Amino acid sequence: MKFGINTFLWSAHFGPSDFGLLPAIKANGFDGIEASLIRPGQFAAREIRKALQENALQCTICSILPPELSLLAEDGVIRERTIAHLADCIQQTAEAGASIIAGPLYCPVGFLPGRRRTAEEWKRAVDGYQQLGPVLESHSVDLCIEPLNRFETFFLNTTADAVRLCQEVRHPRIGILWDTFHANIEEKNLSAALRLGAEYIKHVHTCENDRGTPGTGHVDWAGVFEAFGEIGYDGWLTIESFGFASGDLAAAASIWRDLAADPDEIAWAGVSFLKSQYEAGHKLSAGIKS
């Protein structure tokens, strides 16, 4: 397992002004950061790669679509623009030294048309991801699609739907970003959902039920870590929270209060909790009596 921290915790657009965080992130036991990439033209990929190398930290990328883009749009020009945008993001991901770009990369967070998705919208998403296959291959990057809770998207809410989407896209570099915060709202059983998604889950956001410090709420962490062992998940466990990053991002995630005394608490206390769970869960599913 690798432990990561999503930089949304501190800023909506990670860049050189945030590099001062890196030594403490390393010192507190993280293996890497998850840098937010929303506008490829404003992303300092080379500088981020260099700063992370200097701090012996790895990188994954989290992205959400800007409001004017969508793979689901009826207008083919918007869909083409979105595919071009995602191709740029994939290229920037590789430039930053990352091999994962992850997020709800089908339509903007918070786009809620007041109806269910249509079969046509589903087909447009499948087509869009299939068109990105060659770009992913050429940059050796995996794209992980994230189901969100029903209050943030209408398009993809469950692990089962995300599995079906990956099955229809049928590309080895297209998988699932599974987020415990969203699964805790939409799934009846987190361990069962992890087992259902096992074949396609390539990345995980480890968030508490309220997006506060992992271990302080009611996510079934024991069940989640036991299931990680059962399905053989050995990828990133990335803490994702918001609230301190002001602006449109906190609004997209509907964060209207501080979730801890300060952002560092969510990161530092969160990673030591996750590591303790990993040790316990790992032993449990490996049949080692702790």
Comparison of 179 and 186: residue with beta carbon closer to Mn ion: 179
**Least distance to ligand LER from the beta carbon of 144, Å?**
10
Query: Per CB under 6 A, does 179 bind ligand LER?
Result: yes
Pairing of strands 201-205, 2-6: unpaired
Cα-only R_g, the chain: 18
Query: Per CB under 5 A, does 186 bind Mn ion?
Result: no
Partner from Mn ion, ligand LER, none contacting 142, C-beta within 5 to 8 A by type:
none
Interactions with ligand LER, residue window 129-168 (CB under 6 A): 146, 148, 152
**Least distance to Mn ion from the beta carbon of 253, Å?**
9
Which of 169, 219, 240, 269 forms a contact with ligand LER (CB under 6 A)?
240
> Where are the alpha helices (H) located in 55-118, listed in sequence order?
76-95
Query: Per CB under 6 A, does 62 bind ligand LER?
Result: yes
Query: Per CB under 6 A, does 187 bind ligand LER?
Result: no
Interactions with ligand LER, residue window 102-121 (CB under 6 A): 103, 109
Which of 31, 186, 226, 240 forms a contact with Mn ion (CB under 5 A)?
240
Partner from Mn ion, ligand LER, none contacting 212, C-beta within 5 to 8 A by type:
none
Q: Are 237 and 278 in contact (CB under 8 A)?
A: yes
- Amino acid identity, residue 147? P
**Least distance to Mn ion from the beta carbon of 34, Å?**
9
Comparison of 150 and 170: residue with beta carbon closer to ligand LER: 150
Which of 13, 117, 202, 205 forms a contact with ligand LER (CB under 6 A)?
205
- What residues make contact with Mn ion under the rule CB under 5 A? 179, 205, 240
- What residues make contact with ligand LER under the rule CB under 6 A? 62, 64, 103, 109, 146, 148, 152, 179, 205, 240, 252-253
